[in-house]
Each structure stands twice: as structure tokens, then as C-alpha cells.
Amino acid sequence: MAERTDGTRVAPLRRLWRYGAPYRRRTWWATTHSVLNKLFDLAPPLLIGLAVDVVANDGDATLDRIGFTTQRSQIVGIALLTFFVWAFESLFQYLHQVAWRNLAQDLQHDLRLDAYANVQSLEHAWFQERATGDLMAVLNDDVNQLERFLDIGANEIIQVLTTVLAVGAIFFWLDPSVAMLAIAPMPLILWGSFWFQRRLEPRYEAVRNQAGFLNGQLANNLLGISTVQSFTAEDREAARIAGESDRYRQANRSAITLSSAFTPLIRMAILIGFTGTMVWGGFEAIEDATGGSGSLTVGQYSVLLFLSQRLLWPLTRLGETFDQYQRAMASTNRILDVVDTQPTITSGTTRLTLEPGAGAVTFEHVTFAYEAGSRAAVDGVSLTLEAGRTTAVVGPTGSGKSTLMRLLLRFYDPDEGRVCIEGHDVRDLDLGDLRRLTGLVSQDVYLFHGTVRENIAYGRPEASLEDVVAAATVAEIHDFVQTLPQGYDTVVGERGQKLSGGQRQRLSIARAVLKDPVVLLLDEATSAVDNETEAAIQRSLERISAGRTTLVVAHRLSTVRNADVIHVLEAGRIVESGTHDELVSREGAYASLWAVQTGAAVRHEPRRRNESSVRRTPPS
Ligand SMILES: Nc1ncnc2c1ncn2[C@@H]1O[C@H](COP(=O)(O)OP(=O)(O)OP(=O)(O)O)[C@@H](O)[C@H]1O
Ligand SMILES: [Mg+2]
């Protein structure tokens, strides 16, 4: 929630009001029409009272003065007036509905876009703490909740207020003593409403949060449906969803118990006001009619009765409206929390453009742990990617290879030391420039729902088909694409599901090649393709990386043999560096890895046989 520095929370309505500053004028415009609509809606009972008096008391003095001298003409005059009042009521109803609903649309649109844009600017660490489904709930459900409130609820609150004020004024004008009776329950109702509201607030917050958890679990399961099915975990997952759904139900139940009690209680309070008005006002009218000291005419008495209905009826709906309000405010908090989250990785100001061939990268005593206090994933690493050269990093799984790339791309910032491109600390660089300079073929390829062409051209949407084909050819995927029914216009499905792992990987290589980055980062870029294809891609990549600063991470050492320098990483530290031949002759960590992969070590470690047989025996 929005905590201030002094620890107090900013009320959601105030947050929304501040956020909606550009909409102030339109809010006032809509409010004015809501008020006018209500005022015209309250007028007919007054006219009815007038008509009753005209009939019962030989005409009305005021109407007489303005020219309606006969009883009949007065009735016709009142009817005419009623006609206009109704026409205006309808007109303002139309206007306020259009105003509020359009305001709701525009505000929800802005909120969704702002929240989404801010989410895009946030760092990886933030996403790790949040379930995707929960975020989707914020961007969709919560935004819609607010929209619903602005559509209907805001107008209702304003109209209830208008009713209370207008009817209260009329009551006092007609008969102060009866008015006192009618408004006697008001303080009770208001106090009761606030009491309920305060207690409902945390319950609706819990409901919204639980909706987020449920969504998170659902998204997780649907994305991992093949894992669920292959491990026959359907029952377990269904039970897990049932658990989350049940907690959502319970959270709602607790809110329902309270919010449903509201309306009956308010009704009881209202009843006191209404029956009081009926009895006391009735007595006054009888007194008046029998020539006593009563202060109410029959017409005025009927106005009082009609109006107290009008006054009290909407109050019974106050519960529902407050309910909607509370839900909307819980959602507002969740949305604005996302909108207000400040990224910790922010863009620097130094603009940098480099030509391919430049772009030396240095890691200087870089230490980084994903979580404070946990083991460093990268521990005091210093290494240089010479401009225009290929540098390789190898090492066991979990040794921090991908982390190095993430630090260079500023998905995370190092805890100690710095990463520089051409001597500029990456933290000083414009983030857009930094990421334009670098091209990453990541270990886990992500393709978007779209065509092959769109996916390859993702980093350069304006690229021509020839460029796309050229990049695909380098990545050895062009021939395959041609066998597809719609060629480059074939839709790859969500996450590229319709392609094989190796095809996805090659597509992502094509994507990086087309981007033509100054610094090329290949993280296990060919791990999912067969030997022949790998050899072919390897030859292409060597052409592409020639004269380009390139960082290659690979488990198959054959793919890094020709690198200008190879660093061996173990548990976040560099343990060896050198060329392939130097490292092999040093007989250290690299040499034994090499021995395993070339089959030389199979004799000594028979249990590794299976593992190494999956791996390719590299050409020596
Ligand atoms: N997002 C994360 N949060 C916490 N720890 C992480 C995160 N990502 C990686 N790690 C940890 O950091 C260490 C280094 O991870 P990294 O991905 O850099 O390994 P790697 O060398 O690329 O391994 P592989 O060869 O399996 O890809 C690992 O121990 C891993 O558990
Ligand atoms: Mg990795």
C-alpha cells in the first residue's frame, strides 16, 4: 500500500483524486449533471403537493399572483411544469450517464496503460517477487472494478448527497419540527456507514489480494499444463486451485457477512424517521385542517411523505454503493501501487552509439548476489571482452555465466565493482542505448504469438523481408521456414509452441543477427540443435561474430574452441583463463571438462557414460 515516509497510509480516494488531476473539469461537469438530474427528479413530489393544495384549498395564492387565476388553469400550469421538469430530468440523466461512463472509460484506459508502462520499466528482481497472474489481475480485474464504480457508484453517492441536502432544506422550509424528526436518524446512518466502511475496507483488500493469488496460481498452472499432465499431477493441482479458490470464497464471505448486515440496519433507522414524519406531520395537518394551530396543509403533508420516501429510499442502497466504493478503493490501491512503484534500475544519461567492431566490455571486480545475504552468484569477477573479439565463458551449471550477461544488460546491478562498455559504466549509460548496443540470444528463448517474420524482426520491425531472410539463413532456419505452409507468415503460436525447441532457438539467433548489435551475447545459443545444424550455425556465427565483440557461453566446449580467450567459471569465480590449447595443456578444470566431452574420461567414470553419450563428441 502507499506508505508515506512517516508510515501512514494515503487514503485511496485521495490517491485517485491526485492521479485523476487531468480529469478534474470533466469530474465537475459530470457531478453538475448528476446534481441537476437529482434536483429535477425531486421536483415532481413538490408539484404533486401543489396540485393537491390547489384542489383542496380553492387554488394557490402564488400561482394566482403570477396569472393563473382559476383552479383549472392552475392545474394545467402545474401539469405543464411537470412536463418540463421530467424532460429536464431525462436530459440531465442522459448527460450525466454519458459524462460518467466516458470518464470511467478514459480513466481506466489511462490507468491500465500507466500501470503497464511502469511494469515494463521495472527490474527483474521486482518480477521475481510477483506472480504474473496477480499482475494480470491488477491490470484487468482491478481496473475494471474501478471502472464499474465510476460508471454507477460515483453518480449514486453524489445523488444521495444531493437528495439529503435538498430534501433536508425543503423539510426545514415546510416544517422545522417535522424536519427534525425526519433527519433524526441521519447522524446514526452516517455514523453506521462509516463504521461499516472502516470494517469493510480490510476485508475487501483481502478479497482483492486473494483474487490476485488465485489468478497467479491459475496462470502458473495453465502455462505449465504439459508438466502437470506429464507428472499426472492434475488432482494435486486441482486441489491447489480449489484451496486458492476457497480462500477467495472465504475472503468474500467475510465481506458479505458484514456488508449484507448494513442495508437492514440502515432500513431500521430509516423506519424511525419515516414513521415519525408520518405521525407527527399527520397530527400537524389534522390540526391545520380542523382550524387548530397546525402548520401543515394537506398538500404539504403529502409532500413530506413523498419526500421522506424519496430521501430514505436511496439510503437503503447506500450499503450497496459503499460496497462498490470499498471494492473500487481496494482496487485503486492495488493499481496505484503498481503505477507508483519506482524502478531501482534507472536509465543513465550518457548517450552512446558505437559501430560494430568497437565496444570493449570490462567486468571490474564484479560481485553480485541475487538476494542480500545469499551466496554471491558472481564473486569478484574481472574480465575483458576485447572489442571485435570472441570471448567464451564456460563452467558448470549454476556457476554464474548467465548472470554475467544479465549484469551487462543491466537486468540487475552489481553489488560491488562495475561493468563498463568502452570505459563507460553501464549504469551511466542511457538504458535504451545500452540495450540497443547489445544482442542477446538467451538460454530460454521466448517467442511471441505472431508470425515467423514478426518474431525474427522483433528488434527491427521495419526490416525488409530480404533482411529477415538473410538473418534466417545465417541461423540455418531459412530452409525450414520455406517448408512451412505460409512460409515467413506462418503463425508460431503462443510462446512459439508450434515450433520445436531447436527451431525456436534458431529463430532467436536470427532475431539477434538481424538486430546487428555491437556486442553479441550467445548464451547456450545452439544447445538445442542437432550436431550437423550446430556445426552449420557455428560456421555462420563465426562469420557474424568476426570483428564483433562477442561473449559466448556454452557447455559443449567444441563450440568455444575457436574463441580468442576462454574463461572458466566455478561458483561465481574465474578459475582459469586462456585459449583452448593453453587450457588443455594446463590440465586443470578446463582440461578435465574437455576430456569428459571428448570421451577420454569415460573409462575412469563409467557412471557418466549416459550423460556424455547424449553430448556430442566434438571433432578434435
Ligand atoms: N533470479 C534468481 N534469483 C536467485 N538466484 C538466482 C537467480 N538466477 C540465478 N540464480 C542463482 O545464481 C547462480 C548463477 O546462476 P546462472 O543462471 O548465472 O548460472 P549459469 O552459469 O548460467 O548456469 P547454467 O549453465 O545452468 O545456465 C545459480 O546458483 C542460481 O541458482
Ligand atoms: Mg545460464
* Mean of all residue pLDDT scores within the chain: 86
What is the pLDDT, as a whole number, of residue 600?
64
Ligand 1 binding pocket mutation candidate from 128, 129, 399 (most atoms within 8 A of CB)? 399
Protein residues within 5 Å, CB atom, of ion ligand 2? 402, 443
Q: Which residue has the cell 590449447?
A: 581
Question: From the CA of 3, how far away is ligand 2's center (Å)?
Answer: 37
What is the pLDDT, as a whole number, of residue 443?
84
Percentage of residues in the chain with pLDDT exceeding 70?
Answer: 95
Please identify, by atom number, the ligand 1 atom nearest to the C-alpha of residue 401.
Answer: 21
Q: Specify the residue with its C-alpha closest to ligand 1, atom 29.
A: 398
Rounded distance, CA 145 to CA 109, Å?
Answer: 13
Q: Specify the residue with its C-alpha closest to ligand 1, atom 18.
A: 400
Q: Residue 373: nearest ligand to its CA?
A: 1
What is the pLDDT, as a whole number, of residue 603?
44
Question: From the CA of 397, how far away is ligand 2's center (Å)?
Answer: 7
Contact 566, 415 (CB under 8 A): no
Q: Residue 379: nearest ligand to its CA?
A: 1
Q: Residue 378: nearest ligand to its CA?
A: 1
What is the pLDDT, as a whole number, of residue 1?
44
Ligand 1 binding pocket mutation candidate from 130, 397, 403 (most atoms within 8 A of CB)? 403
What is the pLDDT, as a whole number, of residue 601?
52
Contact 133, 218 (CB under 8 A): yes
What is the pLDDT, as a whole number, of residue 429?
93
| Binding-site residues, ligand 1, Cβ < 6 A | 128, 370, 377, 397-403, 443
Question: From the CA of 409, how far away is ligand 1's center (Å)?
Answer: 15
Q: Residue 129: nearest ligand to its CA?
A: 1
Task: Write out residues in the chain with pLDDT < 50, as ranges.
Answer: 1-3, 5, 7, 602-620
Please identify, by atom number, the ligand 1 atom nearest to the C-alpha of residue 399.
Answer: 21
Q: Which residue has the cell 570471448?
A: 391
Ligand 1 binding pocket mutation candidate from 363, 366, 401 (most atoms within 8 A of CB)? 401
Largest CA distance in the chain: 124
Contact 389, 359 (CB under 8 A): no
Angle between helices 176-183 and 154-174 (to 10 degrees): 150
Structural domains in the chain, sorted by start: 16-340 (1.20.1560.10), 361-598 (3.40.50.300)
